[in-house]
Amino acid sequence: MVGRYRFAGITVEIHSLHGQIHRMCEEYRITDAPVDITIRVSQADVDEARKLFERVAKAEGRNPGNPSDSFVETIAVHGQIAEALPAYGSVLMHGSCLAVDGAAYLFCAPSGTGKSTHARLWREMLGDRVLMVNDDKPLIRVADGRVLACGTPWNGKHHLSANVSIPLRAICLLERGERNEIERLSYTEGYHVLMRHLYRPFSATALARSLGLFNVVLSNVELWRLRCTMDAEAARVSYEALHG
């Protein structure tokens, strides 16, 4: 099966074994643009993606279950795209990204810390002013002197995302705390703590490009750390600091 899609301004043609990936990417489908990246998935790719899925699940204390090859193929496609992105000025980050009034904010934290919960608190506080760019794996693109947060269909268990590209204003590292406190991070502090939330390609060339792009991103957006509870006050504190 073949489909052509555009993510963060990059046209990707996917050749798959199953149909789930094409249904998943339907919002991003295009028909007549030149192809930048071609993805071809084999059964061996699916088998490797299954091993990765199982390792990650076990590391996070989850039961991996027995997902279908069709589902696992979506992981394989995602991995191949992430490897190719740096050559086109984009990197993948793990976090929950939302936008308010035309500016995007990316919240990063280890799995289970509360990224999605914090984003939900913003939505409850601000209502329709909040647009979810991506609740799990947004693309960050450096283009024309701007840093953009872009939606993807790999959007977490709540399936919250939009096919948009919005200027990224700030990245905020979330940590659990007994009260809500927010502080600015320096470039050096931000680089070391946020690196763990950057997808790092296996290819040495792609990794070098990713690190270069990551440097540009962190040099051009605000960096913050929020120690927070999981209540509405946390959203107010972060909103007032980040949105200003």
On whether the CB atoms of residues 61 and 36 are closer than 8 A, the answer is no
pLDDT of amino acid 111: 77
- Look up residue 67 and give its two tokens: 């997902």
State the CB neighbour count (10 A cutoff) for residue 19.
Answer: 12
Burial class (CB in 10 A: 0-12, 13-18, 19+), 120: buried
Q: Which of 67, 34, 42 is nearest to 53 (CA)?
A: 67
Q: What is the pTM of this model?
A: 0.94
On whether the CB atoms of residues 185 and 174 are closer than 8 A, the answer is no
pLDDT of amino acid 32: 86
Kindly report the CATH number that applies to the domain delimited by 90-242. 3.90.228.20
pLDDT of amino acid 77: 97
On whether the CB atoms of residues 179 and 233 are closer than 8 A, the answer is no
Q: What is the pLDDT along the chain (244 residues), one digit of tens a residue?
A: 999 999 999 999 999 999 999 999 999 999 888 999 999 999 999 999 999 999 988 887 888 899 999 999 999 999 999 999 999 999 999 999 999 999 999 999 987 778 899 999 999 999 999 999 999 999 999 998 899 999 999 998 889 999 999 999 999 999 998 999 999 999 999 999 999 999 999 999 999 999 999 999 999 999 999 999 889 999 999 999 998 7
Q: How many angstroms separate the CA atoms of 22 and 103, rounded? A: 30
Domain ranges of the chain: 2-88, 90-242
pLDDT of amino acid 110: 83
Q: Which residues contact 9 (CB under 8 A, 6 or more apart)?
A: 141, 143, 150, 165
Burial class (CB in 10 A: 0-12, 13-18, 19+), 35: exposed
Q: How many angstroms separate the CA atoms of 90 and 198, rounded? A: 11
Q: How many angstroms separate the CA atoms of 100 and 240, rounded? A: 12
